[in-house]
Structure 1
Amino acid sequence: MKYLKRALKIIFGLLLVLAIVALIFIIVDKNNTSYLNINNIPNSSKNSYLITNINIVPMSNDTILSNKTLFIKAGIIEKIDDSISIEGVEIIDGQNKYLSPGLIDMHTHLWDKQELGLYLANGVTTVRNLWGYSMHLRIKENLDNDKIIGPMFFSSSPKLTSPHDLGDDKVQVNTPEEAKKLVIEYKKRGFDFIKIYAGLKDDLYQAILKQSKASGISIVAHPSREIPYLNQFHSQIASIEHSEEIVQQALDYQLDSLKVEPVIQKFVSTNMSFCPTLTGYYKIFEMLEKGESILKTEPVHYINPLIQKVDSKVQYNRWANEKINNSSVTKNIYQQHQFHLYVLKKMHEEGVNIVCGTDAGIGITAPGYSIHQELAFYKDAGMSNFEALKTATINPTKTHKEFAQMGTIEIGKLANLIVTPNNPLKNLNVLSKPDWVMVKGRKINKTTLNEFVDNAKDRSNLLVTAFRYAEYMLVEK
C-alpha cells in the first residue's frame, strides 16, 4: 500500500507539472496571437461603410458593374447604386479599383490561429475545415462572437471510419449504434458537418446517413474504399472530395476516359458538389520534381511547425524513397494530375457544381496561398476566369445552406469582400494580394494583412500544437 501511495503521488505530480507546462505554453501562444484580437485591429468597431467609385465584380453574372457606390450597414450589403447619400457613415474611396466577393476554400485543415491571418491576407474570407476537434470549436466561438478576426469558419466533426482503418487522425467507430451517438454528439457540440472517411464500411455509412438526416446535419465525404464509388451518392452528402479518389477507387488506378464517364454522369444526375483538391495532389509531383529543397521554399515556411516535422518531412521521405524504387513515379504522378484536369474539364462541361478546395494545412500545401494555385489549375482545365472564380464564390453557396449569404455582391449578402487594383476577371493572380479585405463589414487594411503574414512565418508554436493534438486524442479517441 505504501508503494502504491508513492506511485500515485509521483503520477499526480507528473500530471500537475504537465498541466502547468501546458498552461504556460497556452498563455504564451495567446500572447503571440494577440494581434488577431478584434480590439487590436484598426477601426474594428466599425462595420458600416459607404464605398464609392468602385468597380464591382458581382459573380452573380459575368460582368463588371462600373463606378458604383455600395452601402454596407452592420456588416450587410444594404444598397448598390450609381450614387448613394448616407449621413454619419464613413466613406471609403474605392479609387476605381475592383471589389469582389471574398474567396471560399472548401477543404482546409487548420492547425492554429496564425493561419486565420494567412487566409485573410490571401483574400480568403471563409474556410471549411474538414478535420475538426475541440480547438476548432473554440476558434469558431471566438470568431462568431467577434473576439478575434479571421475568415468565417465552418468545421466538420472528427473523421469517422471503421475499426480496421488505423491511424490516430481518425475516430474508429465500432457499431452503427456508436455511429449514431457520435453524430448526435457532434451536432450538439457545435460542429457544422459530419466528416466520413476512407475506411468506412457500409453498415456504419448507412447509420451515419440516417442519423445525420434525423439530426439535420450534412455530411462531407472522403469516399470510402469499402463501398463501390457510385454507391456513395446520397442527398445527405453535401460534397464528395478529391480527384485522386476517383482514379484510385472508381477507376482502380486506370486513367481511362471511358470508364470515368459513369462517374461524371453520377455527379450530374445527383446534383452532387465535387471538391477536386488538385493542389494537394500536385504537391506530390512538386516534391518529386524539385527534391528536398522544396521543404525550404517560401510557402512551406507558413505551414504549422509540427506539421512540417511530422507530415511535410514524412511525405517527402515517402515519395523520395518511392522515386528510388520506381524511376517512373514522377512521370506517373504528373500523368495522373493531367487526367485530373481532364476529368474536371468534362465535369465542368456537364454542369457539375465544382467547389474550390485545396487540402491546405497538410503536406506542403500552405494555408491561403494554395487557393490561387488551385484556381490556376481550373483554368488549365478549360475554365474562364469567371468560371474558375465561381468555384470559390457562388458555387459553395449551392453546397451548404450555411453559405447562402456569401459568394456574391448583392443586396442582403454579407460584406465579405476583397479589393484589388485590377480586374480579376482578366487576371486571377491579382486576388493573391488584395489591397484590403472585409469580413462581415470589418475592413482590414494592407498594413494589417502584411502583419498577419509576418507573424505567421516560421512561427514557434510546435509544442502548443502538440498539446492541442494530445487534447484531441484524449477527447475524441
Structure 2
Amino acid sequence: MIKSLLAFFLLIQISYSSGFSQTYLISNVNIVTMENDQVLANQSILVDDGKILKITPMTEHVDFAGNLVIDGNGYYVYPGLAEFHSHIPIAQNGDTQLQEETMWLYLANGVLRVRGMIGHESHLTLRDKVQSGEIDGPRLFLSGPSFSGGSVSSPTQAAQMVRDEKAAGFDHLKLHPGLSMDEFMMISKTAKELEIPFGGHVSLDVGLEASLKNGYKSIEHMDGFIEAMISDYSRVLDPSLAGPFTMLLVGEADPSRLPALVDLTLETKAWIAPTLTLFDRYFGSKPAEEYRNIPEMKYMSAQQVQSWINAKTPYEEKGILTAENVQPYLDFRNNLFMTLHEAGVPVLMSSDSPQVFNVPGFSIHHEIELMSKAGMSNYEILKSGTVNTAKYFDQEGEWGVVKTGASADFVLVENNPLKNLTTLKNPFMVVMKGEVYDRDELQKQLDRIEANHKRE
C-alpha cells in the first residue's frame, strides 16, 4: 500500500493493493547498503512482497510484473535507524493512542527497529498488529516486565518470572537495580536454560564483573563501569556521596582498572547501549525548564513534559547538576564510550525514549550528534543502528542492510549520510516491509499527533 506519494516522484501508473504484496521499482537512487562503507551509485531497487527482489544499475533495463515506478531523484537510500533502548507506552484500558503515536514518531524519523526495555502484555498485542500491518510501525523486539529489587522477591520467584516471560513470547529480559547476587544468578541460570537473552542495569550487589561473566548480553547506559573503577566500594553504595549514576564520584575512578574491564567485555561478547542523550539531557547542566518548549516537545502531552521537568528539578535544587559536576562526568562517559568502541565492543544505537526530554524518534538524532562529537565515524554510527541491531538478535542479513533478499526496510534521504548525518533528520520516504510512506504522509501524522497534544 502506498501511503501518499511525493510530488517529485514520477508515477508511471499507480496500483493499490493490500498488505505487503505490491511490486514496484524505485529508480535513480544511490544506495548505502551498510554491507561496507561504499555507495552504489545510480541504482534501481525492485521490491516485491515486502522484500528486495533485485538491485540493478540504472544502465540495465529491469522487467518486472508490477506497474509502478518511483523516481528517486538521485537521493540516497540507507537501511534506516534503530532505537534499541525504548520504553513503549502501555495501552491503558485498551486505549492504544499513545502506542500508535509512538510508532509514527519513530517512522517519521526513519527509525525502523525498536527494542522495548520495560515490557507489558499490551506490547505483545501491539507487536502482533504491527507485524500483520493493522498498525503502522517499526520492527519491535520486546522485553517483559523488568527484574528489580521491587519485582523480585526470591531466587525461586525470579526463575518463575523468567519462565513466564519466555512463555509469553517476549524477546529478551531487562534487569534493573536492586537484585541480590542469589536472585541474579538464578535469573542467569534460568535464562541460559531457556535461551532468552538478558541484560540491563548492573545491580550494586552484583557488580559489572559478575554481570558480564554470567551472561549479560547488553550493558545499558554503560552501567557499572564507573563503580568497578572505584577502590572504596562503600562510597558507591552511599547515594548521598555517589549521586545519580555515580556522577559525584567520577573523579575517584581509577583509569588503570579500565583495560581489564574492556578485555572482560570483549571476552564475554557483551554489547553496550550508551544512551548518551539521556545523560546529556536528564543529568546535564541545562536547566529542565529550558526543555519545555524545544520543537519536538509539541508531540508530547503537557503532563508528560511536566513530569520530565519534575524528575530533573530535584537534582538541580540539590545543587548536583552544576557545570562543575556535570562536565567531568559527561567527558568521562564520552571517553569510556570511545574506549569501548575502539576496542571492538559492539554498540547499539539507543537513546532511552520516551524518557526525560527524549521524544521518540527525535532523540535518536540527538544521540547521533553526541556519538559523532565523541569521535565515532559516520559509518560506525550508522552501523550501530543497522547491521549491529540485526546481529544482536541473530538476524544479520535479514534486515538492517539494503541487499537482494533482505526485507524492504529502508529510508530515502537527500544527501549521503556517510558524509552528512544531518540529512537523516529529514527522510523523504520510508519503506517498512515494503510499505511506502512519503514525506507528506509522515508530516500528516506528525501534525495529527501535535494536534492531539495541543497546548492550551
TM-score calculated relative to the size of structure 1: 0.81
Question: 2:38 and 2:378 mapped to 1: Cα distance?
Answer: 12
1:268 to 258, 266, 269: 266
Shift in alpha-carbon separation, 1:50–1:271, aligned structure 2, 3 A: same
Runs (5+) with no aligned partner, structure 2: 6-15, 90-97, 231-235, 237-248
Question: 1:228 and 1:392 mapped to 2: Cα distance?
Answer: 28
Contact preservation (8 Å) 1:303, 1:364: no
| 1:96 shift after superposition | 0.9
Question: 1:210 and 1:154 mapped to 2: Cα distance?
Answer: 22
Q: Which amino acid aligns with 2:191?
A: S
Runs (5+) with no aligned partner, structure 1: 1-37, 167-171, 463-477
Q: Which amino acid aligns with 2:310?
A: V
1:385-438 Cα shifts (integer Å, max 9, x gaps): 111111111111221125652211122211110000111111111011100101
SS of residue paired to 2:219: strand
Query: Does 1:368 pair with 2:355?
Result: no
Contact preservation (8 Å) 1:307, 1:362: no
| 1:99 shift after superposition | 0.3
Q: Which amino acid aligns with 2:427?
A: P
Contact preservation (8 Å) 1:285, 1:330: no
| 1:381 shift after superposition | 1.9
2:32 to 57, 73, 77: 57
Contact preservation (8 Å) 1:243, 1:278: no
Q: Higher helix proportion, which one?
A: 1
| 1:210 shift after superposition | 1.7
1:112-151, aligned counterparts within 5 Å? 112=98, 113-151=100-138
Name 1:413's counterpart in structure 2.
406
| 1:285 shift after superposition | 4.7
1:183-219 Cα shifts (integer Å, max 9, x gaps): 1111222211111111111111111112212222111
Q: Which amino acid aligns with 1:299?
A: E
SS of residue paired to 2:347: coil
Name 2:313's counterpart in structure 1.
317
Name 1:174's counterpart in structure 2.
153
1:208-223, aligned counterparts within 5 Å? 208-223=187-202
Name 1:439's counterpart in structure 2.
432
Query: Does 1:227 pair with 2:206?
Result: yes
1:285-364, aligned counterparts within 5 Å? 285-286=283-284, 288-310=285-307, 312-323=308-319, 329-364=322-357
Shift in alpha-carbon separation, 1:215–1:444, aligned structure 2, 3 A: same
1:72 to 47, 66, 79: 47
Q: Which amino acid aligns with 2:216?
A: I
Deviation larger for 411-420 or 376-385: 376-385
Query: Does 1:199 pair with 2:157?
Result: no
Question: 1:235 and 1:68 mapped to 2: Cα distance?
Answer: 47
| 1:260 shift after superposition | 2.5
1:125-169 Cα shifts (integer Å, max 9, x gaps): 11111011122122111111210111111111111113xxx4xxx
Shift in alpha-carbon separation, 1:379–1:207, aligned structure 2, 3 A: same
SS of residue paired to 1:95: coil
Name 1:24's counterpart in structure 2.
none
SS of residue paired to 1:401: coil
Percent identity reads 28
Name 1:468's counterpart in structure 2.
none
How large is the RMSD of aligned CA atoms in angstroms? 2.3
Name 2:82's counterpart in structure 1.
104
Shift in alpha-carbon separation, 1:337–1:319, aligned structure 2, 3 A: same
Question: 2:3 and 2:54 mapped to 1: Cα distance?
Answer: 29
Contact preservation (8 Å) 2:202, 2:223: no
Deviation larger for 448-457 or 120-129: 448-457
Moved over 6 A (4+): 38-42
Contact preservation (8 Å) 1:238, 1:400: no
| 1:61 shift after superposition | 0.3
Contact preservation (8 Å) 1:244, 1:340: no
| 1:340 shift after superposition | 1.0
1:307-339 Cα shifts (integer Å, max 9, x gaps): 3343x022232122123xx5x733212221111
| 1:228 shift after superposition | 2.0
Aligned residue pairs, count:
412
Question: 2:188 and 2:427 mapped to 1: Cα distance?
Answer: 41
| 1:41 shift after superposition | 7.2
Contact preservation (8 Å) 2:201, 2:223: no
| 1:370 shift after superposition | 0.8
Shift in alpha-carbon separation, 1:235–1:397, aligned structure 2, 3 A: farther
Question: 1:185 and 1:404 mapped to 2: Cα distance?
Answer: 30
SS of residue paired to 1:352: coil
Name 2:370's counterpart in structure 1.
377
Shift in alpha-carbon separation, 1:347–1:238, aligned structure 2, 3 A: same
